[in-house]
């Protein structure tokens, strides 16, 4: 018992330290002190008196994470491993196998093997499920098993994995992995500089500038900046990327908070490369945070045309704060606002529905703002493109397909049943789409509409009021109508679903580089961007 008490006696000191650091920002001094005292005494009593042996570290981890769920999903507690992962993500370099993975309960799934890195050289493919790393079974490892894939440079290890139901083994040698912010750029046939910016790490603005300068020397006279799927990153890199096309001294983004010192305006600090070249920025529902800062500034300052679909709407600003023993809290401190004054944030985590979900701003509650040229733009979350594309949308059913890995799993099935030697030969046909729908019927895919959720809630209430049997016939009829609607919804959203299936399938054969190459001649958003850029009158009309 004494040993266990020593492990937890430092906790009040840690919490008091957190408390003291917070006092200057909060006026409810007594209430904070009171709650800390209640918590520390409760924590001590549980660890000293609970009937079974407890793990103080696990209890505290659960307590902290449970507390933070009442805030927003971006305010997170980071242990030492999380802090290191964040450093790697910002720097763009780490030592590992060179693959994007997803850790599950019993296996680690390869989502993407980067070309010419250890995972790729060892023959690993997207969809492979790693079940054993060295002598360690993934299912037996309580921490994040994905960490076992990282390690010292040139260190060797073996893995056991399952591919299409067959168990295989292979050996890998870890190496340094450098993640480029700009994985692809190319001068298109119409002299458009096509630049893909996949993340806002420390290399982002430097690599965009280098790519842009190189393509200009090759004859580029217009630019397509692709921010689709870019989830964001470093704020200063968003400012610097904007600065490539926007003059020095321009306001790019404002942060606002209840804490005065976090209220800031961020301006461009450098001389730009080109402020006149026609520019199109591509965004979609996976373009977030720093991507939205760039797109919002370009749109509000009428510097270029935004094409695609409404961006994600992640306008909450986080800052890491040091805690004890190498841990941190990544805490939301303010909100982002574009130059016109629009708030980027889509969901209001201060207001939640009956299910505890954050409420999205309704269209009728959007506020109107104006760009520098006087164009009308609106808040409500994210950046609404000047030209909207059906193929860029992420509807409810598409989101469900992504979340349940239906598109990923079908791409795996497709890869092992079709040969493809050149991306130019690929075409996802109507017959392929019919096969995809059959695949969904045979899988565990489930899609619940908002109406279905409300109907379930209504029937639960009807049960309490003894009305269930009286209205069951009508409810069954409604459910039949919903079922028919859901089947039709797959066809209604075919363009966006096919677009995502195409992306996932092309990557399986030709890596990300092959996908971007395929884009340059087959992607609807790029084709639309080229159409706008080659027509100066249309380009000017959109901006004026």
289 is catalytic: yes
Find tokens 């103080």 and name the residue: 56
Strands 305-308 vs 279-283: parallel, antiparallel or unpaired: parallel
Residue 390: which of 539, 303, 492 has the closest Cα?
492
Q: Are 288 and 347 in contact (CB under 8 A)?
A: no
The DSSP output letter for 226 is: E
Q: CA 438, CA 433: separation in Å to the nearest integer?
A: 9
Contacts of 136 by beta carbon, 8 Å cutoff, 6+ apart: 145, 148
One DSSP character per residue, 307-358 reads EES------EEEEEEE-STT-EEEEEEEEEE-TTS-B---EEEEEE-TTSPE
Tokens of 222: 């217009």
499 among known catalytic residues:
no
Cα–Cα distance between 262 and 28 in angstroms, integer? 20
Instruction: Show the tokens assigned to 434.
Output: 């019919």
The three-state secondary structure class of 105 is coil
Residue 65 annotated to the active site: no
In terms of phi and psi (left: phi > 0; alpha: psi -120 to 50; beta: otherwise), the region of 317 is beta
Spatial neighbors of 317 by CB under 8 A, at least 6 apart, are 235, 255, 257, 262, 332, 333, 334, 335, 336
Kindly name the residue from 300, 379, 409, 503 that is annotated as catalytic: 300
Contacts of 357 (CB under 8 A, 6+ apart): none
* Catalytic hit among 289, 334, 340, 392: 289
Which candidate in 199, 203, 222, 314 is catalytic? 314
Spatial CA neighbour of 501 closest among 401, 421, 418, 404: 401
How far apart are alpha carbons 469 and 475 in whole angstroms? 10
Inter-axis angle of helices 396-403 and 468-492, nearest 10? 90
Where would I find the H helices in 141-234? Answer: 204-217
Which runs of consecutive H residues, i.e. helices, occur in 183-233? 204-217
Show which residues are catalytic. Answer: 289, 300, 314
């Amino acid at each position: 018992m004494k040993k266990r008490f020593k492990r937890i006696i430092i906790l009040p000191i840690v919490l008091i330290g957190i408390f003291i650091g917070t006092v200057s920002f909060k006026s409810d001094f007594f209430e904070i002190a009171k709650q800390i005292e209640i918590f520390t005494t409760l924590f001590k009593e549980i660890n000293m008196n609970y009937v079974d042996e407890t793990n103080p570290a696990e209890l505290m981890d659960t307590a902290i994470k449970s507390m933070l769920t009442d805030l927003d999903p971006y305010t997170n507690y980071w242990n030492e491993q999380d802090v290191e992962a964040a450093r790697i993500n910002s720097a763009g370099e780490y030592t590992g196998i060179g693959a994007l993975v997803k850790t599950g309960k019993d296996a680690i799934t390869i989502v993407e093997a980067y070309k010419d890195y250890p995972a790729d050289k060892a023959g690993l493919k997207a969809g492979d499920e790693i079940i054993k790393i060295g002598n360690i079974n993934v299912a037996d490892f309580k921490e994040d098993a994905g960490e076992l894939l990282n390690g010292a440079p040139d260190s060797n290890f073996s893995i056991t994995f399952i591919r299409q139901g067959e168990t295989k083994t292979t050996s890998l040698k870890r190496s340094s992995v450098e993640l480029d912010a700009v994985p692809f750029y190319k001068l298109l046939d119409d002299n458009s500089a096509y630049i893909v910016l996949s993340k806002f790490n420390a290399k982002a603005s430097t690599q965009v500038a280098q790519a842009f300068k190189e393509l200009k020397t090759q004859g580029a006279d217009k630019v397509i900046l692709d921010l689709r799927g870019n989830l964001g990153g470093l704020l200063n890199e968003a400012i610097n990327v904007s600065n490539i096309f926007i003059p020095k001294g321009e306001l790019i983004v404002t942060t606002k908070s209840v804490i005065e010192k976090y209220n800031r305006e961020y301006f461009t600090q450098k001389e730009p490369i080109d402020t006149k070249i026609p520019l199109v920025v591509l965004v979609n529902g996976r373009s977030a945070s720093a991507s939205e800062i760039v797109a919002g500034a370009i749109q509000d300052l009428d510097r270029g045309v935004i094409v695609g679909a409404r961006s994600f709407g992640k306008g909450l600003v986080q800052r890491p704060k040091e805690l004890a023993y190498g841990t941190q809290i990544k805490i939301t401190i303010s909100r982002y606002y574009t130059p016109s004054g629009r708030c980027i944030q889509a969901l209001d985590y201060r207001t939640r529905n009956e299910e505890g979900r954050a409420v999205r701003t309704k269209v009728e509650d959007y506020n109107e703002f104006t760009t520098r040229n006087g164009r009308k733009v609106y808040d409500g979350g994210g950046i609404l493109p000047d030209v909207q594309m059906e193929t860029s949308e992420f509807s409810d059913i598409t989101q469900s397909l992504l979340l349940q890995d239906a598109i990923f799993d079908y791409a795996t099935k497709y890869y092992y049943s079709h040969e493809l030697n050149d991306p130019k030969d690929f075409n996802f046909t109507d017959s392929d789409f019919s096969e995809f729908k059959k695949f969904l019927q045979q899988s565990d895919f489930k899609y619940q509409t908002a109406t279905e959720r409300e109907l379930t809630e209504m029937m639960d209430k009807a049960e309490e009021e003894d009305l269930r049997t009286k209205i069951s016939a009508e409810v069954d009829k409604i459910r039949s109508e919903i079922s028919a609607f859901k089947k039709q919804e797959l066809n209604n959203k075919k363009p966006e679903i096919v677009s995502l299936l195409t992306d996932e399938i092309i990557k399986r054969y030709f890596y990300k580089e092959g996908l971007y190459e395929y884009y340059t001649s087959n992607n609807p958003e790029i084709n639309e961007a080229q159409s706008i850029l080659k027509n100066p009158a249309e380009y000017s009309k959109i901006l004026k």
